[in-house]
Amino acid sequence: MVHGPNLNMLGTREPEIYGDTTLADIDILLKVTGDELGVDVESFQSNHEGDIVEKIQEAKDKYDAILINAAAYTHTSVAIHDAIAAVDVTVIEVHISNIHAREPFRHKSLISPVAKGIIMGFGAEGYALALRGAVTMINAEKNV
């Protein structure tokens, strides 16, 4: 799980949009969901684009999937787009809110074209949905 900028402020940042769930709560939700599914989940958060790019690059040959909420970088980062395109890993884009129901500048995602799936608008529960979806996709690919 790659968490982008300002997500470390969850729980206090704009609770009317993002709710009162903290990043630690989301990481616990992912761990519990991962345990249910029999998969390990590692979480990473950075406010720095280069750190996120490096974490994505490290995923090659190390992880089966990346869940990513690139936050504000969703709409601006060609570097994150390119890093995802360069690794052969299932990527699921996650957003707490529905980005299409927000300000117009948030409607365009540079991540979506290189993601296998997108979960948005389900609040913190979207992270568990994304993990379940990623595991389902990976298992289906292995059975082909």
Give tens-digit pLDDT for 38-74: 999 999 999 999 999 999 999 988 999 999 999 999 9
Per-residue confidence at 136, pLDDT binned at 50, 70, 90?
Answer: very high
We report the CATH number of the domain holding residue 59 as 3.40.50.9100
Domain ranges, residue 25:
2-142
Q: Is the pTM of this model over 0.85?
A: yes
Residue 18 annotated as catalytic: yes
30's tokens? 């992912």
Out of 73, 81, 95, 127, the active site residue is: 95
Residue 95 annotated as catalytic: yes
Out of 3, 18, 73, 81, the active site residue is: 18
Distance CA 75, CA 118 (A): 14
Count of other CB atoms within 10 angstroms of residue 41: 19
Total structural domains within the chain: 1
**Exposed / middle / buried, residue 42 (Cβ in 10 Å: 0-12, 13-18, 19+):** middle
Asked if 135 contacts 39 with a C-beta cutoff of 8 angstroms, the reply is: yes
CA proximity to 40, closest of 118, 135, 106, 120: 135
